[in-house]
Amino acid sequence: MSRKNKTQFTYIKINFYVRNKEAISIGKKILACSLLLVLMALLPFTAVKCSSDTDKSKIRLTSSTGKSINDTKSNDNNEILVGLTAALCNENFSDEAIKAIAILINTDYEVNPDYFDLENKDVYLSKDTLDNSDKEYYSKVERIVNSTQRKSLTVHNEKFFIPYSQSSCGYTLDSTDCEYITSVASPWDSFSKSYDESSECIGVSIDGINYLCKNGANAEQALKWYLPEFQIK
């Protein structure tokens, strides 16, 4: 093959690869948008599914025997919930997304408060260490957390620790520890800056919650997408 033909052949291969990669990317976006439309249609019916009976004799990872936020000083624990929620979200999160994350964190803290390292700045945002630029964001989170009125996620009036990740690879996984946490599609995670095709997410995608809420879902609807067996009380 002549050098000119080789050059043309190489150009064709590269051009085909680029076009194919663009087509795959577009396909993912179309799939995400299509599923979002289906989700918006199905969300009103998820509450019906959540009320179905489940065998309570099956093994559970953790129940609501952990310390409740309401069991100790209310003000101190409210500040803890605000700090944990503020650390997990950011300024780009919608109000409904922050509300959903607050409900999730409230549940997990009540079940297992020792899981959270309050000395870790990535886990807990302390009000005392805030810069002036962060105080407005913190006040916003504080207002939203207060509006949740300590709502929690439950199954048959029991609380379970619910794992979460920043984003998924396009779907979440079944939990081997909690039968009520099942795999669901989360294709919109492909729009997340933290998206990784090799990542594994069990439970809730934090960026997925924010995406759903920014596209019309409220806090409870977004949570029910990832946790269809749970109720919010």
Domain chopping of the chain, boundaries: 50-232
The model's pTM is 0.73
Residue type at position 15: N
* Residue entry with tokens 């959540």: 50
Give the pLDDT score at 32.
59
DSSP code of residue 153: E
Contact 154, 231 (CB under 8 A): yes
Question: Collapsing DSSP states into helix, strand and coil, what is residue 52?
Answer: coil
Contact 116, 109 (CB under 8 A): yes
Give the pLDDT score at 1.
52
Averaged pLDDT in 10-residue chunks for the chain of 233 residues: 43 40 50 57 42 32 47 72 97 98 98 96 92 92 94 97 98 96 98 95 98 98 98 95
For residue 158, what are the contacts with CB-CB under 8 A and spacing of at least 6? 60, 63, 64
* Measured CA distances, 97 to 22, 65, 213, 216, 232 (Å): 30, 27, 6, 11, 15
Written as one string, the DSSP assignment of 93-111 is S-HHHHHHHHHHHHHHHHH
For residue 65, what are the contacts with CB-CB under 8 A and spacing of at least 6? none
Give the pLDDT score at 12.
36
Give the pLDDT score at 44.
44
Q: Which residues face 204 on adjacent strands?
A: 164
Contact 223, 43 (CB under 8 A): no
Helix intervals (H) in the chain: 3-50, 74-88, 95-111, 132-147, 206-214, 219-226
Q: Are strands 231-232 and 204-205 parallel, antiparallel or unpaired?
A: unpaired
Closest CA to 222 of 122, 89, 111, 61: 89
